[in-house]
């Protein structure tokens, strides 16, 4: 049996092949990230005995490895993706030297395959990869949208500092509508009565005439100073925000269509929406690769750190390793499931009654949620509140 470690990079991949006795068979092979290079790598695999005689492994490197993974799967080869942190720690355990090259990394990866349990990546991974790309792209869009809101607030602090506090510190749909149609304090101060009817419809009846009059008064007496360059920034930021907001809706629709078609058991939990379910399913991938729910907790970085030496023993804070995207989704869901499910709400209250703070109690809810998700996904059953009592 040959163990093949690949150090992935953008334009080329370095390969090291060792035997099951730990002897280096080939350490100088590399191939380019194109059709010619892939063909050379495939020929090498065939020369070394094909599928039955080779175990292939490389670090999880996102986009850089996707074409190689699809190529290997198409040609009937299994492969193992390894967490880069585990490879880094393994290298530290093997040597004190800090010298590293692509070839050295490839050799360490091959050695890692030899001494660790071989867990090949599941086949048909591309659909899950596409969902992961969409959910992470959505998260980037949301972050960018939030940055534009911060920039928008900075401009408002100069031209109309009373505006955002009037809306309780939030740029709501109504607030953004006003800014897009009446971008200056003078324009807001001169709004006519018919405008209130439009604002009332935008706010679904929540924007009263009293608020309308008060906002006009604030605009008329604002201490802010409007200048032309502020107007340019305001207009552009509103356009950028609207465009990104529309893009988020489009991505949500695509994610929703995919997750509805997959219909994973996690979706049956009230309080776990389509987007959160998509993040959880995409980040976890094949749930069967986790031996138990504790392994999934560790992957999400929700397990507490532990220290034990001699007579000393204590637990620390969450380790926060693994997938930060998964952890973020689970922590958000810990809030919503308590609102929609009495079992989770009771569990939260139980932890609070034990003297735990809100965030700690929420962490416990997230861990309970992980254990339930693991059971649902591995058993292929839908959520049933009655079974939790």
pLDDT tens digit sequence for 226-249: 999 999 999 999 999 999 999 999
- pLDDT bin (cut points 50, 70, 90) of residue 123 is low
- pLDDT bin (cut points 50, 70, 90) of residue 95 is confident
Indicate yes or no: pTM above 0.85.
Answer: no
Say yes or no to pLDDT of 314 above 50. no
Give the pLDDT of residue 191. Answer: 95
Q: Where are the beta strands (DSSP E) in 20-150?
A: 24-32, 54-59, 80-82
User: Which residue in the block uniquely carries the two structure tokens 């529309």?
Assistant: 246
Say yes or no to pLDDT of 176 above 80. yes
Report percent pLDDT > 70 for the chain. Answer: 93
Contact 326, 284 (CB under 8 A): yes
- pLDDT bin (cut points 50, 70, 90) of residue 319 is low
Say yes or no to pLDDT of 387 above 90. no
Range name among 3-17, 58-72, 312-326 with the lowest pLDDT average: 312-326
Say yes or no to pLDDT of 351 above 60. yes
What DSSP state is assigned to residue 204? Answer: T
> Average pLDDT in the 319-336 region?
86
Give the pLDDT of residue 122. Answer: 66
Contact 76, 51 (CB under 8 A): yes
Say yes or no to pLDDT of 93 above 90. no
Say yes or no to pLDDT of 25 above 70. yes
> Average pLDDT in the 301-311 region?
60
Of residues 47 and 121, the one with the higher pLDDT is 47
User: Which residue in the block uniquely carries the two structure tokens 């009037």?
Assistant: 166
> Average pLDDT in the 85-99 region?
81
For residues 214 and 196, give the distance between their C-alpha atoms in angstroms, rounded to a whole number.
12
Say yes or no to pLDDT of 389 above 70. no
How, if at all, do strands 24-32 and 304-309 pair? unpaired
How, if at all, do strands 312-318 and 80-82 pair? unpaired
From its phi and psi, is residue 322 left (phi > 0), alpha (psi between -120 and 50) or beta? Answer: left
- pLDDT bin (cut points 50, 70, 90) of residue 320 is low
- pLDDT bin (cut points 50, 70, 90) of residue 313 is very low
Nearest to 124 by CA among 93, 84, 171, 78: 78
Q: Please give the structure tokens belonging to residue 275.
A: 């987007």
Cα within 13 Å of Cα(227), Cβ side: 6
Give the pLDDT of residue 230. Answer: 95
Q: Please give the structure tokens belonging to residue 163.
A: 């505006």
Of residues 84 and 212, the one with the higher pLDDT is 212
Give the pLDDT of residue 100. Answer: 78
From its phi and psi, is residue 26 left (phi > 0), alpha (psi between -120 and 50) or beta? Answer: beta
Give the pLDDT of residue 200. Answer: 94
Say yes or no to pLDDT of 96 above 80. no
Q: Output phi, psi for 348, to 5 deg.
A: -65, -45
Give the pLDDT of residue 291. Answer: 87
> Average pLDDT in the 114-127 region?
74
Give the pLDDT of residue 102. Answer: 87
Contact 31, 37 (CB under 8 A): yes
Q: Is the dihedral of CA 48, 51, 53, 59 positive or negative?
A: positive
Report the chain's mean pLDDT, rounded to a whole number.
89
Q: Please give the structure tokens belonging to residue 167.
A: 């809306």
């Amino acid at each position: 049996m040959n163990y093949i470690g690949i150090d992935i990079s953008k334009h080329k991949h370095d390969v090291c092949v060792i035997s099951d006795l730990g002897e280096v068979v080939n350490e100088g092979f590399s191939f380019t990230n194109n059709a010619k290079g892939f063909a050379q790598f495939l020929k090498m695999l065939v020369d070394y005995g094909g599928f039955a005689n080779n175990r292939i492994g490389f670090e999880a490197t996102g986009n850089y490895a996707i074409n190689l993974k699809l190529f290997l799967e198409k040609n009937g080869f299994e492969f193992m993706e390894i967490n880069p942190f585990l490879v880094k720690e393994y290298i530290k355990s093997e040597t004190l030297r800090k010298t590293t090259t692509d070839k050295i990394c490839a050799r360490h990866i091959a050695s890692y395959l030899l001494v660790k349990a071989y867990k090949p990546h599941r086949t048909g991974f591309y659909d899950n990869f596409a969902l992961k790309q969409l959910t992470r792209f959505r998260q980037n869009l949301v972050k960018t949208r939030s940055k534009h809101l911060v920039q928008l607030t900075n401009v408002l602090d100069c031209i109309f500092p009373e505006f955002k506090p009037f809306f309780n510190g939030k740029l709501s749909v109504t607030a953004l509508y006003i800014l897009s149609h009446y971008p200056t304090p003078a324009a807001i101060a001169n709004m006519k009565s018919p405008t209130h009817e439009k604002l009332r419809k935008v706010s679904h009846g929540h924007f009263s005439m009293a608020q309308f009059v008060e906002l006009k008064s604030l605009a008329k007496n604002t201490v802010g100073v409007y200048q032309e360059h502020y107007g340019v920034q305001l207009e552009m930021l509103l356009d950028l925000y609207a465009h990104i907001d529309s893009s988020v809706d489009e991505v949500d629709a695509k994610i929703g269509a995919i997750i509805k078609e997959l219909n994973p058991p996690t979706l049956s939990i009230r309080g776990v929406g389509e987007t959160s379910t998509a993040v959880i399913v995409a980040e976890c991938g094949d749930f069967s690769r986790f031996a138990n729910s504790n392994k999934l907790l560790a992957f999400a970085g929700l397990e507490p750190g532990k220290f034990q030496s001699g007579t000393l023993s204590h637990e620390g804070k969450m380790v926060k390793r693994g997938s930060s995207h998964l952890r973020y989704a689970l922590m958000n869901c810990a809030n919503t499931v308590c609102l929609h499910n009495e079992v989770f709400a009771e569990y939260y209250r139980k932890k609070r009654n034990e003297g735990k703070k809100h965030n700690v109690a929420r962490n416990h809810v997230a861990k309970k949620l992980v254990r339930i998700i693991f059971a649902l996904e591995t058993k292929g059953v839908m959520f049933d509140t009655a079974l939790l009592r």
